[in-house]
Chain A
Amino acid sequence: MTVLKTKNLTKSYGGKVAVDNVSLTIEQGDIFGLIGQNGAGKTTFMRMITSLTRPDSGQIDLFGATTSAKLTEARTRIGAVIETPALFHNLTAVQNLEYYRLQRGIAEKSRVQEVLEIVQLTDTGKKKFKNFSLGMKQRLSLAVAILGHPDFLILDEPINGLDPTGIVETRDLIKRLNQEGITILISSHILTELAQVANKYAIIHHGRLIKTLTQEQLHTECKRAMAVTVDDAAKAAVVLETALGIRDYKQVSGNELRIYEYLHDPAELSFQLNHAGVRVASIHEVGDSLEEYYIKMIGGNVQ
């Protein structure tokens, strides 16, 4: 089932395009990671989905709703933390949650305590939100977002300001919520973190969607391998199988092979190929982390 589908979503501010014709689809059960530099358009995209900003053009399909009225109704199935945590400064954690429980018509009073336990903020007592650390504020905002049992969670940089323990806890929480059936759209500029939770990715650069890929595709693209350029790929394949017993390899272009085993000894690999009369033009290791892959995708233009 499709949770969110956008078509050519566009938003400009004063002639500068913040989001440029972004079309993407998020399926139920996904943890969809939005990757991009600051100002790439991730937050603006999320703001349009949550109706904080109106798109200049394009369509949003949320749980099958496309009209303005239906979209408003569909958004009650969303939990969102967009940009900085914003809750009532003079209320405590419990009071803030109680306010949103009443406002959203959530009958179960025990839900307040439940979400406080989930985000591990049960011991804040009479401390007011304004006196919370940034990490505590992030966690309380997340508690408000999940208060109404949402089907779709939108989290904009949820680990900003968290200490290492908080980051691990948030990561585990996101995975747990997803296992409970919540679809998640998450943005972060800490790509190593995103790589550990998301199962699909979209790379946004200068407002444009450059690429979407699944975790499997990312692994394939980023998998460590030996890239070998030879004069005769077919002959080289025979040598790999017979002389070295290599099975995990593929021909990526006319004369280039990508070999996923035997990475520990490229000299032996080269020797065996030469010995069999295959001329090796180049041999080098390839493969990226999500971070390296992202930088490659945006053309190394990291400002």
Chain B
Amino acid sequence: MMNLIRADFYRISRGWVVYAPFAGLVLLHAIAMVLNSYAVSGTMYVEFLLGGAQLLFTVSMIPFVFCVSVPIFSDGTMKNDISWGMSRTKLYVSKLLVMAMLSALLYVFYIASGMALATIIGGVGDIVPGYGMNLLQAMGAQMVGVLALCSVMIFLSFLLKKPYVLTEALGAVLLIPMLINWISAIFHVDTSWVLYFDLMSNIERFASFHLLDSRAILIAFGVVAVWMIVPSAAGITLLRRAEIK
């Protein structure tokens, strides 16, 4: 497994796509600073990053799928791996792990670079007692959500294979809660309960982790766990049965 992961990191690092999300997030921070007239402090900006800007972070994860798992379909290299005797499960899990490692790294970069930039420009801001612990809890919980999102993204890439179809599907997954909100607002229907089962909404909920009660935490983690396990199990089953082209 380590060999597969090492090889993938070697391959990915040869292209520019893997660096694009990092550059994109720096740009996001810069734009945010400008829009706030350089008057945003480190703590305020981190609050924004954990909450409202979460969608921008998850969108920036998409290029990773295109360099981690899509090429084995678009370039057709999967047959080299399988014919050499690599187990299909191992192949799937290795792609998932590479995606997870990259996304975790990106997430830490997202928060750390944003905080650093905002602190340099607008100062640290108000630090309430227990701020560090609250931040770490929120980041840890959101990281679990990000890993579940990796599971969904890798599953969709193995299911849909074609890059353009995958882009549309990933967009749909990320925008579903927003669409539900809009539709419910138009028809005056209360669909807020649906958002409890939505992965993106749960990731956002984790931004105020220290404010959640135990029951809410348990439900949120339960939902995230389902999002993590079900797509991966489905993806592995799909790959084990697939004809490799």
Which residues of A approach B to under 8 Å, CB–CB? 47, 50-54, 72-80, 82-84, 86-91, 95, 98-100, 102-105, 144, 148, 154
Establish whether residues B7 and A53, one from each chain, have CB atoms under 8 Å apart when the complex forms: no
User: Is B11 an interface position by the 8 A CB rule?
Assistant: yes
The residues of A that contact B11 with a CB separation of less than 8 Å are 88, 91, 95, 99
The residues of B that contact A84 with a CB separation of less than 8 Å are 76
Nearest CB in chain A: distance from B187 CB, A = 45
Nearest CB in chain B: distance from A255 CB, A = 53
Establish whether residues A72 and B76, one from each chain, have CB atoms under 8 Å apart when the complex forms: no
In angstroms, Cα B3 to Cα A77, docked, is 17
Establish whether residues B71 and A78, one from each chain, have CB atoms under 8 Å apart when the complex forms: no
With A86-B75, A95-B11, A102-B6: A51-B80 Cβ-Cβ less than 8 Å: no
Establish whether residues A52 and B85, one from each chain, have CB atoms under 8 Å apart when the complex forms: no
In angstroms, Cα B85 to Cα A50, docked, is 8
Establish whether residues B76 and A86, one from each chain, have CB atoms under 8 Å apart when the complex forms: yes
In angstroms, Cα B83 to Cα A79, docked, is 8
The residues of A that contact B81 with a CB separation of less than 8 Å are 103
How many B residues face the partner with a CB closer than 8 A? 24
Nearest CB in chain B: distance from A72 CB, A = 5
**Interface membership of chain B positions 1-24, coded 1 if the CB is closer than 8 angstroms to chain A and 0 otherwise:** 001101100110011000000000
With A53-B244, A78-B85, A104-B84: A90-B14 Cβ-Cβ less than 8 Å: yes
Nearest CB in chain A: distance from B17 CB, A = 9
Nearest CB in chain A: distance from B119 CB, A = 38
With A99-B10, A104-B3: A51-B75 Cβ-Cβ less than 8 Å: no
Closest B residue to A95 by CB, please name it.
B14
In angstroms, Cα B82 to Cα A78, docked, is 11
- Which of B75, B79, B83, B87 is the one whose CB lies under 8 Å from A78? B83
Nearest CB in chain A: distance from B236 CB, A = 15
With A52-B243, A74-B85: A102-B79 Cβ-Cβ less than 8 Å: no
Nearest CB in chain A: distance from B200 CB, A = 31
User: Is B191 an interface position by the 8 A CB rule?
Assistant: no
User: Is B77 an interface position by the 8 A CB rule?
Assistant: yes
The residues of B that contact A104 with a CB separation of less than 8 Å are 3, 84
- Which of B3, B71, B82 is the one whose CB lies under 8 Å from A103? B3
The residues of A that contact B84 with a CB separation of less than 8 Å are 75-76, 78-80, 104, 148
With A76-B85, A86-B76: A102-B15 Cβ-Cβ less than 8 Å: no
- Tell which of A51, A77, A80, A103 has the most Cβ of chain B within 10 Å: A103
The residues of B that contact A47 with a CB separation of less than 8 Å are 244
In angstroms, Cα B85 to Cα A78, docked, is 8
- Tell which of B80, B85, B87, B244 has the most Cβ of chain A within 10 Å: B80
Nearest CB in chain B: distance from A9 CB, A = 16
Q: Given contacts A88-B77, A103-B4, A103-B6, could you give 16 more A-B pairs where the C-beta distance is less than 8 Å?
A: A51-B85, A52-B79, A72-B85, A73-B85, A75-B85, A77-B85, A78-B84, A83-B79, A86-B76, A87-B80, A88-B11, A91-B14, A99-B10, A103-B7, A104-B3, A105-B3
Establish whether residues A86 and B80, one from each chain, have CB atoms under 8 Å apart when the complex forms: yes
Establish whether residues B75 and A52, one from each chain, have CB atoms under 8 Å apart when the complex forms: no
With A52-B243, A103-B7: A86-B79 Cβ-Cβ less than 8 Å: yes
In angstroms, Cα B87 to Cα A74, docked, is 12
In angstroms, Cα B79 to Cα A144, docked, is 12
Nearest CB in chain B: distance from A48 CB, A = 11
List B21-78 residues whose CB lies under 8 Å from chain A.
Answer: 71, 74-77
- Which of B7, B76, B80, B86 is the one whose CB lies under 8 Å from A144? B80
The residues of B that contact A86 with a CB separation of less than 8 Å are 75-77, 79-80
In angstroms, Cα B4 to Cα A83, docked, is 24
Nearest CB in chain B: distance from A138 CB, A = 14
In angstroms, Cα B241 to Cα A51, docked, is 11
In angstroms, Cα B15 to Cα A52, docked, is 28
Establish whether residues B82 and A51, one from each chain, have CB atoms under 8 Å apart when the complex forms: yes
- Which of B4, B10, B15, B76 is the one whose CB lies under 8 Å from A90? B15
Nearest CB in chain A: distance from B244 CB, A = 4
Establish whether residues B87 and A72, one from each chain, have CB atoms under 8 Å apart when the complex forms: yes
- Which of B10, B75, B85 is the one whose CB lies under 8 Å from A98? B10
Give 4 closest A-B pairs by Cβ, nearest first: A75-B85, A50-B83, A86-B76, A103-B7
